[in-house]
């Protein structure tokens, strides 16, 4: 499978590269565009400030330019938190998208969004301050309404970015469970 993997608000951290290597070791071709052009942040707040300074349109433009050379191949869009939101936006706009793998995040869905049974898998902490239950319920219903085939996996007690061993949120058990399920998802596409 061809996977476009987007980083979180922290930037292109070692955990993103390690995740890409894990996917490559499982036989997938993976790209990890650096939407922050080398900037890596120590806190969510610093990353969010940089993202806001960059602007939503510029971030999306960078993501589209990164994916464009490969989209004809039929990409699985994937990402961590902010990167998941970016991946979701691109996947819902790409009729050749093969799947959507969301780790720790979702995004708004346009009212007119429409996909043809796009396989979508979401992995998120429970609870997650960035992805509250009422938001996730509404998101799920909107994704189904758009035509996506959605699976949601919740990890009780894990922190928001629980797959990143370099962050305080890290939860080894939840992270390994996520990767087992996610790799099975990619293999099924």
For 128, how many CA atoms within 13 A lie in the half-sphere containing its CB? 26
Domain count across the chain? 1
Domain ranges, residue 142: 2-188
Tokens (6 digits) for 135: 């938001």
> From CA 10, how far away is CA 25, in angstroms rounded?
24
Tens-digit pLDDT profile for residues 42-82: 999 999 999 999 999 999 999 999 999 999 999 999 999 99
Q: What is the pLDDT of residue 179?
A: 98
Q: Where are the beta strands (DSSP E) in 45-186?
A: 75-80, 99-103, 119-126, 149-156
CATH of the domain at 110: 3.40.50.1820
Angle between helices 14-25 and 172-188 (to 10 degrees): 40
pLDDT digits over 140-162, tens only?
Answer: 999 999 999 999 999 999 999 99
What's the pTM?
0.97
């Amino acid at each position: 499978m061809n996977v476009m993997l987007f980083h979180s608000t922290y930037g292109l951290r070692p955990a993103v590269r390690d995740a890409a290597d894990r996917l490559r070791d499982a036989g997938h071709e993976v790209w990890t565009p650096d939407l922050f052009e080398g900037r890596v942040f120590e806190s969510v707040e610093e990353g969010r400030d940089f993202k806001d300074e960059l602007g939503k349109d510029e971030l999306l433009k960078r993501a589209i330019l990164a994916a464009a050379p490969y989209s004809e191949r039929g990409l699985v869009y994937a990402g961590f938190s902010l990167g998941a939101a970016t991946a979701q936006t691109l996947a819902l706009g790409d009729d050749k998208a093969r799947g959507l793998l969301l780790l720790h995040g979702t995004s708004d869905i346009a009212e007119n969004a429409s996909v043809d049974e796009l396989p979508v898998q979401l992995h998120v902490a429970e609870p997650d301050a960035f992805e509250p239950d009422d938001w996730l319920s509404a998101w799920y219903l909107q994704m189904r309404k758009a035509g996506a085939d959605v699976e949601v996996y919740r990890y009780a007690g894990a922190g928001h970015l629980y797959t990143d061993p370099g962050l305080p949120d890290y939860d080894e058990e939840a992270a390994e469970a996520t990767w087992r399920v996610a790799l099975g998802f990619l293999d099924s596409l």
